A and B are shown apart, each in its own frame.
Chain A
Amino acid sequence: MSSTAFVGQRVKRVEDPDLLTGRGQFLDDLKLPGLLEAAFVRSPFAHATFTEIDAAEARAMPGVVAVLTARDLPAEMLDKRILLQVPHPEITYAVTQEPLATSEVCFVGEAVAVVIAESRHLAEDAAERVIVDWEPLPATAHCDAALKPGAPAVHSTMTDNIAGRLNLSFGDVDAAFRNAAHVIRERYEPHRGTGHPMECRGVVAVYDLVSDAFRIWSSTQTPHNTQRAVIDMFGLAEDHVRVITPDVGGGFGPKNQVYPEELVIPAAARLLGRPVKWAEDRREHFLTTTQERDQVWDVAAAVDDDGRLLGIKGTLIHDAGAYLPWGIIMPYISATTLPGPYKLPAYRMAVTIAFTNLVPTTPLRGAGRPQAVFAMERLLDAVAAKLGLDPAEVRRRNFIQASDMPYDMGLTYRDGAPVMYDTGDYPDAQAKALAAAGYDDFPARQKAALAQGRHIGIGIGNYVEGTGLGPFEGATIRILTNGRVAIYTGAAAAGQAHRTTLAQICADELNIDVTDIDVVGGDTGVMPRGAGTYASRITVNAGSSTRMAATELRGKALALAAAKFDVKPEDVELTHGAVRIKGEQGDSITFEELAKMTSGMPGYALPKGVKPDLEASGYFTPPQATYSNGSHVAEVEVDPETGQVTILKYTVVHDCGTIINPMLVDGQVQGGVAHGIGNALLERMVFDADANPLTTTFADYLMPTAEIVPTCDIVHMESPTPLNPLGAKGAGEGGTIPAPAAIVAAVENALSPFGIRITDCPITPQRIVELINAASETNQEDR
């Protein structure tokens, strides 16, 4: 029997032809008859109350159909807030946003009214004329300040700014510190950035009066969450709310949330009886789309004389922003990620989640992990410096070995299962990274460069990442009467090429070409149950479900054909879109004929005793997270005069288990590193003391460009996991997670002649020059 073998190959993407010719259909491309457009009236203050909104002038403007405030929304929405996505028992104040604020706003950009007009231009004109009687209140601009006595309350209903506390520990931490030869204490402060997909958010809603049903298109990573939130808000049955993702121009985490606009726009469409669209612009994206990464880590490592870890303890303050749309899962992930690939006998981390008057934080590519890896890897660099050891050697002395797998860290992961590393060879990953990076020769390179007056440095970042979280992501596969095969899945894509990946898995099972398969994802109308595209979980979950469904469908197709030919199922085989009787002269029946036979079409008789069933569904439910890992090495040059950093070489060793499509994984890694470079060197959301955002254009908030991001040298390791039928682990975030740690370490190493230490990121040219100047002043004082 001939068979296809797409899994493991660099299969070209089935998504590309449309996207390369302008035929993609992104949210703002949707055109519906009678479509109205929306512009929101947003708070100019980080914290304020209001009582009156005067929209009389705006309502009289050309092309304006309606101006809606909270009071004008349907009765079902009164006193309701957006459904909390990830409840957690340790949340002390589970506050999410109102669809439109009723009397208090808690960050700049929070919406209080919406103008619906014949065009976006006209809606914006009118939004400027809406008058709100603002009463500004004191605001809190940073999570550290939020916890200080006397800090302004982020919500006027609160007496403190604490959103929740978490305490995680294992082992005898006090004994570890009592017995330590050395204790190294550090404070680390990663800063806020955001995802900035090139397509901003957006939503289109149509209300069908006849069926009392919404059809909603949203540029989201998780249509099912949007559906759940709409159902919760309006009290409708599932089949009256269909949420569809069109082509989505990137997500990176922030499109994983349900936003006020996704509730207000459907409400407006129902009130006005016309389709309504809101397409976020970049300014709104800077103001209102969730962000992440402000944390303050005060950590101490207890080590023996050889640099072996005895224990780590500390505190973590996590910035929630003004609301908790995604609960407190990010700091939980941070605290469980910190131990990483190292044997840590004892650990205690006390986490405080603080509200601030800033746009809420939710998972952003890496989701709390880049900060944790920054803290751990920088702490190991500090241990190395203190003991006079090579940073690579300190890591080698502490690695969990491949023979230790599966390895129980001693904590519970966010999915409720123990943090149990499944497979991986962490020492070998670092060894391969060091070899590819030319680490052993680096001291000679550095010396030669310094002789020429050039400052080059090298840094290491290792990580372990929990991926592939459940509960599930389903797939239904059907053979259609046109002879093609359709895969329906809850998974919504935003550039990851799910269509290609899932088609590869299915094609191998059904012995057809990937181009014979249509993948429909991210539509609650074709797949009623789903979680969403986050936590590097789609290949593990939807991929495994696709494999399971395809295997079952294969059996059904064989059984149907066997019944048709009146032979045993083992006497027929699949061959490129048909089932045939084995042997040279065997009869065959095409998928098209099989599908017609089971469709009820007159003239296609069904064999006796056979169900008209030519589809199968798979719901893979992973028992726990599966742990990807990797090792990054950055080599940089720093100009001490200007503070400019040039990345000379970037090496990645990446292990995400069995690889379905190496081309796509390379793309995820390279793109992820680029995001990490932004976090390391460029991207920072800056706010003033009153919590006003100061970086609200791409001229102020710098994104990595083609001149900054080098071509990564990527080495793959494949440690298949036994936890799913594919052996696959997640690959979407590993490029980003250790990059800030590795790059900042390299910058610090390059500037070792100046004796500076870097404990925050991004490390901008301005900050580098500040640190150099401060260090040289200190040195002069010492003399």
Chain B
Amino acid sequence: MPDALPERRITLTVNGKEHSAVTEDRYSLADFLRHGLGLTGTHLGCEHGVCGACTVLVDGEAVRGCLMLAVQAEGRQVTTIEGLAGDDGTLSPLQAAFMDNHGLQCGFCTPGILTTLTAYLRDNPDADEPELREALSGNICRCTGYDTIVRAALAAADAMRKGATA
């Protein structure tokens, strides 16, 4: 086994800010964000691509941070939960709706659910309940039983249709 593990420098934009950092080739994007950049808002729930807690947006699309290598994010735009609120800290309509509708309990799966729904509601602003449940079917939440998450998503969609922004 070689002493030096393969690593390389990558440059990417995270939450609107450019970062250049060295990462081991084998690091997942989630590990890089958490340990390389200190953005610990992205959580790892299973590390095998099922639970969805580590979901981040890469060039706007919801991606499992545990199934993508950090080096694959070279030159990409990444958004994490830390980047969902407005620059002045105003919660996004989705984040605000989660607070209003009790859409979270322990909050561990919440980052992946917020990123998943942020992308989904952008592309499907008129989504109904069955569509939202299908969109959420790749995110496991053990606490809530999902009802309040669905209510929050419907409320956020409604607010955004009426012009709400972060």
Contacts and interface: CB of A to CB of B under 8 A. Distances in A.
B108 interface: yes
Nearest to B146: A706
Contact of A121 (B26, B45, B47, B139): B26
Contact of A712 (B40, B108, B147): B147
Given A22-B40, A709-B147, A198 B105 contact: no
Of the candidates A17, A198, A250, A709, the one having the most CB atoms from chain B within 10 angstroms of its own CB is A198
A436 interface: no
A62 B102 CA distance: 46
A249 B102 contact: no
B75 interface: no
A22 B106 contact: no
B137 A707 contact: yes
A496 interface: yes
B41 A705 contact: no
Residues of A contacting B: mostly:
loop
Interface stretch (B57-65, B92-100, B120-128, B157-165): B92-100
A2 to B, nearest CB: 26
A195 B63 CA distance: 26
Nearest to B132: A706
A662 to B, nearest CB: 10
A282 B46 contact: yes
A731 interface: no
Interface residues of B, number: 63
A735 B145 CA distance: 10
B88 interface: no
Interface string A693-727: 00001110001111101011000000000000000
Interface stretch (A25-33, A427-435, A565-573): A25-33
Interface string B1-25: 1011100000000000000000010
Nearest to A711: B147
Interface in B94-118: 95, 98-100, 102, 104-111, 114
B140 interface: yes
B85 A21 contact: yes
Interface string B25-50: 01100010011001111111111101
Interface string A489-515: 000001111000000000000000000
A282 B114 contact: no
B41 A494 contact: no
Report the contact-size class of chain A (Cβ under 8 Å from the partner): 35 or more
A607 B59 CA distance: 65
Given A22-B39, A22-B40, A698 B51 contact: yes
A61 interface: yes
Interface in A46-95: 61-62
B66 to A, nearest CB: 10
Contact of B136 (A13, A125, A706): A706
A666 to B, nearest CB: 8
B106 to A, nearest CB: 3
B140 A705 contact: yes
A20 interface: yes
A199 interface: yes
Contacts of B55: none
Contacts of A705: 136-140, 146
B32 to A, nearest CB: 12
A582 interface: no
Contact of B38 (A31, A698, A707, A711): A31
B151 to A, nearest CB: 8
A715 to B, nearest CB: 15
A20 B110 contact: yes
Nearest to B24: A121
Given A703-B140, A706-B146, A21 B95 contact: yes
Contact of B140 (A17, A198, A200, A670): A198
A419 B109 CA distance: 38
Contacts, number: 182
B71 interface: no
Contacts of B147: 670, 709, 711-712
A247 interface: yes
A511 to B, nearest CB: 25
B91 interface: yes
Contact of B104 (A19, A26, A663, A711): A19
Contacts of B45: 198-200, 282
A671 B34 CA distance: 29
B108 A198 contact: yes
Contacts of B38: 31
Given A21-B85, A247-B107, A249-B108, A12 B41 contact: no
B98 A20 contact: yes
A706 B102 contact: no
A733 B121 CA distance: 33
Contacts of B102: 12-13, 663-664, 666-667
A26 B138 CA distance: 22
A670 B144 CA distance: 6
A757 to B, nearest CB: 29
Nearest to B42: A22
A704 B139 CA distance: 10
Nearest to A669: B145
A28 B34 CA distance: 9
Contacts of B82: 21-22
A663 B51 CA distance: 26
Contacts of A709: 145-147
A707 B40 CA distance: 29
A409 interface: no
B53 interface: yes
Nearest to B100: A12
A667 B148 contact: yes
A697 B140 CA distance: 13
Given A20-B91, A20-B114, A675-B145, 16 more contacts: A16-B107, A20-B107, A22-B40, A22-B41, A28-B40, A119-B35, A199-B108, A250-B105, A250-B108, A282-B48, A495-B106, A667-B102, A671-B144, A697-B46, A707-B134, A711-B147
11 contacts: A12-B99, A17-B99, A22-B40, A26-B108, A663-B102, A667-B102, A667-B143, A674-B144, A707-B133, A707-B136, A735-B145
Interface of A: 12-13, 15-17, 19-26, 28-29, 31, 61-62, 119, 121, 125, 195-200, 247-250, 252, 281-282, 494-497, 663-664, 666-667, 670-675, 697-699, 703-707, 709, 711-712, 735
Query: A-B pairs with the 9 shortest C-beta distances?
Result: A22-B41, A249-B108, A495-B106, A19-B107, A674-B145, A495-B105, A698-B50, A29-B40, A670-B145
Interface of B: 1, 3-5, 24, 26-27, 31, 34-35, 38-48, 50-51, 53, 80-82, 84-85, 89, 91, 95, 98-100, 102, 104-111, 114, 132-134, 136-150
